[in-house]
Amino acid sequence: MPNSVITIPIADIILDEGIYPRQKIDHKRVSLFAENIRDNFPFDPIEVEPHPEKPGKYRILDGAHRWCAYKATGVMTLQVIIKHLDGTDPLLYAAGKAIGPRQLTEEETKNTARRAFQNNPALTSSQIGSAIGRSRQAVDSYIADLRAVVQMVLDLKIFRLKCLGIPQERIAARLGIPQQTISDHLPRMPGLANPVNSDLHRGFTVSQVAEKHGWTESMVWSLALEGKNDLQRFKALNWGLRTWDYWEWTDCDKRFGDEWPGRIPGQLIAHILYYFSEQKDLIFDPMAGGGVTADVCLAFNRRCWSTDMIDQPDKRPEIEPHFCEITQGAQKNEPFLHGKEKPGLIIFDPPYFDKKAKDYDQKSISMLSKKDYLAFYEGFFRHIKKHIKKTTKIAFINADWRNFQSTPANDEDPQEAILILDYPAIFHKTGWQATHTIQAPMSSERFHPGVVAAMQKKKILGVTTRFVIILKQAY
């Protein structure tokens, strides 16, 4: 760790309690140090590191009492040693510096060990112990309950990813652990479900069981519906099954998926699964967003691989990070479809053109020009066809886009619109054929009556249209 001594304004130094190992500042000690400073007693420079979240600021690693004393005496600048820890845990480094006449108390040592483990569960007991001056066995006793929680969280992630049919090597890579660890955990997986099943059999609701055991509702539903056919699953979820090609719901079912721009109803995904797949089939969702497809697949006993450009490793470990960079059939690195097993159904719900663009990432296809947006689809459909089996189908979910927000219907420019009618030419060009066109409109009830009245007054014709187009390979 290279050191450098510089003089900086005392106002640029921060006491970050997140990396401070003591429970509180000893004000008697501060007063003593202040008197020493007034008597020109020399002190060593305090140690700081650049603050990771506040450019130009530094946080204290060693010397909090000296810093407080300097402030009390009105000092404006002071000498510091700049430390660059290069991956060393700053809390543990600070704890290791707490030596001399006032070492950490047993309670402070224990709290430091627990905080360090909570910040980084990958730390071993030996690493923590060497920093705080305690044996590995002592650290084990400090953090036993925390380690059990971490173990349970890891087990649940492995269980979820395994239920979704994600291969072991990808689970290991996703969770950042050796594949052997996955193999060691798998025998324990069936036992995880025992207390959950017990509570379900005792009559507790799915939401009650999920909250009690820290499971997602979709995982509990996968157990509650085990052994049932699809019709029985619809009934248990209180979803009416639509028999015709018009699927409409007033809102998304909040039990499935997270809040997300352009979130689609879990009921819509369930209908796609019911009509165009069977239980245990492999589903692929290349733009998974808030995880609606994966959640519904759990409830309907389908396996599911999901990717998205937004990475949520803790909340959505099943959605693997991947950026679809496709133009005119060229694709950079598509790692998810090169294996032996291919999906039977691809659920493709991309960001719509310009709609909610401000809510999406700057790299979203929603930000593209009309020309590039349509070129993306041509590239996607052409590319995906090369990496799947002949029987794979695509459920393409999209809608008309018209710039109607402030324009009367009669004044809209058709050159600025992308209609669902524009896509068949792309399907034909890339070797896909539509077999079903299903209307699945967005609910108009979400609009405030005042907005509706203003639109009517200005003769603005809004868009709630949405379609599910089922595609098979034409050649």
pLDDT at res. 162:
94
Backbone torsion region of residue 16, taken as left when φ is above 0, otherwise alpha when ψ lies between -120 and 50, otherwise beta: beta
Do the beta carbons of residue 46 and residue 67 sit within 8 Å? yes
End-to-end CA distance of the chain: 62
pLDDT at res. 298:
98
pLDDT at 189 over 90: no
pLDDT at res. 357:
52
Give the pLDDT confidence of 135-171 residue by residue, as tens digits: 999 999 999 999 999 988 999 999 999 999 999 999 9
Q: How far is CA 27 from the centre of its chain?
A: 43
Q: How far apart are CA 342 and CA 284, in angstroms?
A: 9
Of the chain, the percentage scoring pLDDT greater than 90 comes to: 74
pLDDT at res. 351:
86
Of the chain, the percentage scoring pLDDT greater than 70 comes to: 94
Q: How far apart are CA 38 and CA 73, in angstroms?
A: 7
Give the pLDDT confidence of 456-468 residue by residue, as tens digits: 999 999 988 899 9
The answer to which of 324-333, 346-355, 367-376, 382-391 has the lowest mean pLDDT is 324-333
State the alpha helices, DSSP H only, in 5-52. Answer: 27-38
pLDDT at 419 over 90: yes
Placement of tokens 């509650």 in the chain: 224
Mean pLDDT of 273-288: 97
Q: How far apart are CA 211 and CA 377, in angstroms?
A: 41
46-50 vs 77-83, strand pairing mode? parallel
Placement of tokens 């324009």 in the chain: 407
Mean pLDDT of 209-214: 95
State the alpha helices, DSSP H only, in 176-279. Answer: 179-185, 189-201, 206-213, 217-224, 230-236, 266-276
Q: How far apart are CA 410 and CA 458, in angstroms?
A: 11
Q: How far apart are CA 122 and CA 128, in angstroms?
A: 11
Three-state DSSP class for 467?
Answer: strand
pLDDT at 330 over 50: no
Greater pLDDT, 359 or 26 = 26
Helix 125-132 and helix 106-119, axial crossing angle in degrees, nearest 10: 140
Give the pLDDT confidence of 228-272 residue by residue, as tens digits: 999 999 999 999 999 999 999 988 999 999 998 888 999 999 999
Mean pLDDT of 375-382: 92
DSSP 8-state secondary structure symbol assigned to residue 355: T
pLDDT at 1 over 80: no
Count of CA atoms in the C-beta half-sphere (13 A) of 441: 10
Length of the chain counted residue by residue: 475
pLDDT tier at 358 (50, 70, 90 boundaries)? low
Do the beta carbons of residue 146 and residue 114 sit within 8 Å? yes
pLDDT at res. 442:
86
Mean pLDDT of 199-220: 96
Kindly report the three-state secondary structure assignment for every residue of 263-321.
CCCHHHHHHHHHHHCCCCCEEEECCCCCCHHHHHHHHCCCEEEEEECCCCCCCCCCEEE
* Neighbour order of strands in the sheet with 58-62: 3-9, 77-83, 46-50, 58-62, 13-14
Backbone torsion region of residue 242, taken as left when φ is above 0, otherwise alpha when ψ lies between -120 and 50, otherwise beta: beta
pLDDT at res. 362:
63
**CB count in 10 Å sphere of residue 141:** 13
pLDDT tier at 282 (50, 70, 90 boundaries)? very high
